Amino acid sequence: MSTILIIEQVLNGLQFGVMLFLMAAGLTLIFGVMGLINLAHGSLYMTGAFAAAVTAAATGSFLMGLAAALAAAALAGALVELLVIRRLHDKDHLDQVLATFALILIFSEGTRWLYGSFPLYLDIPAALSGPVTLPGGIQYPLYRLTLIGIGIGVALALWGLIARTRLGIRIRAGENDREMIAALGVDISRLYTLVFALGAALAGLAGALVGAIQSVQVGMGEPVLILAFVVIVIGGIGSIKGAFVGALLVGLTDTLGGIFLPELFKLVMEPARATSLGASLASMAIYVLMAAVLIWRPTGLYGARV
């Protein structure tokens, strides 16, 4: 196992982690500010990917695709908030889970109705395709390197937004005391729509960026959604910083676990059984991580103390 391989895998873990962060940030923002569980967040990710694929195919420009993904996901998010979520604020979480689960089905069938059952084509822009050679002779795909950059950039921008702007102050205030900021004259329902659209846009961005290296198809958001939930549970619900650290932890654990666990088992058993057992355990690794974090800190790494 060479150092080059290990460094490459760490980069892979980082890249996976920052993409998870884009999903988890929106999810945790919506949960933190609005107290709402949104299972349909994966559908917004899918909406972004489809919008990007359709627009990129029509215009031939990946950037136009990205813009369309942000717009479509934000719009879909705002509409969902206005039409459905608004009625669920005072209901308990079970009602929210049911309603947003129904939204998953509506989004999936709607997308199928619009675009059919076959996956769509979205390719990496030519300028970013192919590998680059990093110091030390490591070959790494340029697009994935760009994704790491974009993810960190978005994380910084989001941190700036929350920590340094008026909107951020309102979002933080909304997290702490909904009635009080309403009493202070903040239009809370507009704030909610805005937060929801922002979270949706982040999911849409992730969908479009990841869609270029993976498949753009109906149901693509659900596996990511589960991981995003793991991330916010580890990071602490409502915390952007927690989502970032949690996402990197999950990304690295998942990537490195898949490599090193089978290797580890090969030391003590025959290769075929080691790969099979190692692979099974590796797919559990992030849940083991989640359990370990929760034993140590029941509210997550940066969760509010209860």
Partner 1 sequence: MMNFTKRALAALALAGTVASPAIAEGVKVGMITTLSGGGAGLGIDVRDGFMLAVEQSGRSDIEVVIEDDQRKPDIAVQLADKMIQSEKVDVLTGIIWSNLAMAVVPSATAQGKFYLSPNAGPSALAGAGCHQNYFNVAWQNDNLHEAAGAYANSAGYANSFILAPNYPAGQDALTGYKRFYTGALAGELYTTLGQTDYAAEIAQIRASGADSVFFFLPGGMGISFLKQYADSGVGLPVVGPAFSFDQGILQAVGDAALGVRNTSQWSKDIDNPTNAAFVASFQEKYGRLPSLYASQGFDTANLLISALDKAAVTDADAFRAALKAADFASTRGDFAFGPNHHPIQDIYVREVVREGDVLTNKIVGIALENHADAYAAECKM
Q: What residue ranges bind partner 1 (CB under 8 A)?
A: 1-2, 4-5, 8-9, 12-13, 15-16, 108-109, 112, 117-121, 123-124, 129-131, 139, 141, 143-144, 210, 212-220, 223-224, 255-256, 258-259, 262, 271-272, 275-276, 279-280, 282-283
Q: Distance between the two ends of the chain, CA-based, in angstroms?
A: 44
Q: What are the CA-CA distances from residue 159 to residues 30, 78, 168, 244, 253 (Å)?
A: 15, 22, 9, 10, 24
Task: Report the alpha-carbon distance of residue 150 to residue 15 in Å, rounded.
Answer: 10
Cβ proximity of 20 and 41 under 8 Å: no
Pick 15 or 96: Cβ nearer partner 1: 15
Nearest by Cα to 257 from 19, 17, 13: 13
Query: What would the two tokens of residue 84 be?
Result: 């459905």
Q: Shortest distance, CB of residue 278 to partner 1, whole angstroms?
A: 8
Pick 205 or 210: Cβ nearer partner 1: 210
Q: Is 220 helix (H, G, I), strand (E, B) or coil?
A: coil
Pick 161 or 277: Cβ nearer partner 1: 277
Q: Shortest distance, CB of residue 11 to partner 1, whole angstroms?
A: 8
Q: Shortest distance, CB of residue 48 to partner 1, whole angstroms?
A: 15
Query: What would the two tokens of residue 211 be?
Result: 């869609």
Pick 179 or 270: Cβ nearer partner 1: 270
Task: Report the alpha-carbon distance of residue 251 to residue 275 in Å, rounded.
Answer: 21
Q: Shortest distance, CB of residue 36 to partner 1, whole angstroms?
A: 26
Q: Shortest distance, CB of residue 157 to partner 1, whole angstroms?
A: 24
Q: Shortest distance, CB of residue 41 to partner 1, whole angstroms?
A: 16
Could you give the angle at the alpha carbon of 288 between the alpha carbons of 94 and 150, nearest 5°?
80
Q: Shortest distance, CB of residue 91 to partner 1, whole angstroms?
A: 28
Q: What are the CA-CA distances from residue 6 to residues 1, 3, 218, 230, 285 (Å)?
A: 7, 5, 34, 25, 18
Pick 2 or 166: Cβ nearer partner 1: 2
Nearest by Cα to 232 from 219, 247, 221, 218: 247
Q: Centre a 10 Å sphere on the Cβ of residue 305 and count the other Cβ atoms it contains.
A: 7
Pick 58 or 156: Cβ nearer partner 1: 58
Residues, the chain: 306
Q: Which residue has the tokens 């619009």?
A: 114
Element housing 132 (H / E): strand 131-134
Pick 217 or 239: Cβ nearer partner 1: 217
Q: Shortest distance, CB of residue 234 to partner 1, whole angstroms?
A: 19
Pick 82 or 281: Cβ nearer partner 1: 281
Q: How many Cα atoms occupy the beta-carbon half-sphere of 177 within 13 Å?
A: 5
